[in-house]
Amino acid sequence: MSVSFGINPITWSNDDLQYVGANFSLQDCLSDAAAAGYDGVELGHKFPRNPAELKPLLAAHELSLVSGWYSGQLLKRSASEEIKAMQKHADLLRAMDCDVLIFAEVTGCVHSDKEIRLSRRPRMSVDVQRRFADKLSEVARFSAENGLKLCYHHHMGTVVQSHEDIKALMEATSDDVYLLLDTGHAAFANANPTELANVYADRIGHVHCKDVRAPLLRACQNRDSSFLDAVLDGVFTVPGDGSVDYGSIFTALRSANYGGWIVVEAEQDPSVAAPAKYARLGLENLHSFISAPKLP
């Protein structure tokens, strides 16, 4: 595969719980990412949103901007309203020579609230899901016309979380909507990331790699914890440090000739999981998966 390797700054500073990692500066993040050997970074809350500031900041560390999360509200907005709301974000990505826009619907989401259990996450009826898919397809067409591949991020605590949610979304949307395969969120939702990689091979436009610590995942599922409590408990780690079968996932991606970004996005408490150490470990493991012989 011809891929580039990126990392999300959530390794250093949590976007939803901003006191977690508050002692790590943006310079810490960029210096550690560059020293570990990454090609690029995704956006985080400490990043400037002005290309005139962001370009030289990243260039000083020989890093590219991979992309950045966009919080969609299509369940409350029309497609034209959403396009207007996302315009500034899309302009930034294009100015930074990105080709991917990460989209996640956050209406009614519970993943950013430490006090709400995951069982209370929102769901869509069949009719609502159909209307949502039509609007998302329209937004994705606009994104494509502006040189950005809209990659939908399935995510715990949102309306697109389970295997069934992902299947319904991919079947109802146009080919302008790509899937962001997040291995950790798939595993947390009891969806098989290898199966997703095989079934949607031709529509995977971006890959987030995080692993899960299986005993902690079972405990979080059993007590129906909030998403952020699960994160602080250490449910996620970098690829290769947990129970996700990355050999099979990368065999599927190789078979599909995936070419794009492979991003380490493993939110942990940086006071427990030293960011520089885990950034290096994640990239080393990704290189080993990429170069491993193809599974039969």
154-173 pLDDT, tens digit each: 999 999 999 999 999 999 99
260 touches 7 (CB < 8 A): no
3-class secondary structure per residue, the chain: CCCEEEECHHHCCCCCCCCCCCCCCHHHHHHHHHHHCCCEECCCCCCCCCHHHHHHHHHCCCCEECCCEEEECCCCCCHHHHHHHHHHHHHHHHHCCCCEEEEEECCCCCCCCCCCCHHHCCCCCHHHHHHHHHHHHHHHHHHHHCCCEEEEECCCCCCCCCHHHHHHHHHHCCCCEEEEEEHHHHHHCCCCHHHHHHHCHHHEEEEEECEECHHHHHHHHHCCCCHHHHHHHCCEECCCCCCCCHHHHHHHHHHCCCCCEEEECCCCCCCCCCHHHHHHHHHHHHHHHHHCCCCC
Cβ atoms within 10 A of the Cβ of 153, count?
21
Tell me the residue type at 53: E
Residue 30 has pLDDT above 70, yes or no: yes
pLDDT tens-digit series, residues 128-157: 999 999 999 999 999 999 999 999 999 999
Whether 292 shows a pLDDT value over 80: the answer reads no
The full set of domain ranges for the chain reads: 4-291
C-beta of residue 12 within 8 angstroms of C-beta of residue 21: yes
Residue 115: the pLDDT is 97
Q: What is the mean pLDDT of residues 11-29?
A: 97
Second-level CATH architecture of 4-291: Alpha-Beta Barrel (3.20)
Beta pairing partners, 105: 72
Given a cut of 70, whether residue 293 has pLDDT beyond it is no
296 pLDDT more than 80: no
- Give residue-wise pLDDT tens across range 32-63: 999 999 999 999 999 999 999 999 999 999 99
Task: Please tell me the predicted confidence (pLDDT) of residue 122.
Answer: 98
Over the chain, what is the mean pLDDT? 97
CA distance 173 to 177: 6
How far apart are alpha carbons 176 and 45 in whole angstroms? 28
pLDDT confidence band for 291 (50 / 70 / 90): confident
**Has this prediction a pTM greater than 0.85?**
yes
Summarised one tens digit per residue, pLDDT across range 189-236 is: 999 999 999 999 999 999 999 999 999 999 999 999 999 999 999 999
Burial class of residue 163 in the structure, from the number of CB atoms within 10 Å of its CB (0-12 exposed, 13-18 middle, 19+ buried): middle
Q: Which residue has the higher pLDDT, 39 or 292?
A: 39
State residue 152 phi and psi, 5-degree precision. Answer: -80, 125
Share of the chain above pLDDT 70, in %: 99
Query: pLDDT tens digits, residue range 77-130?
Result: 999 999 999 999 999 999 999 999 999 999 999 999 999 999 999 999 999 999
Bridge partner list, 102: 69, 151
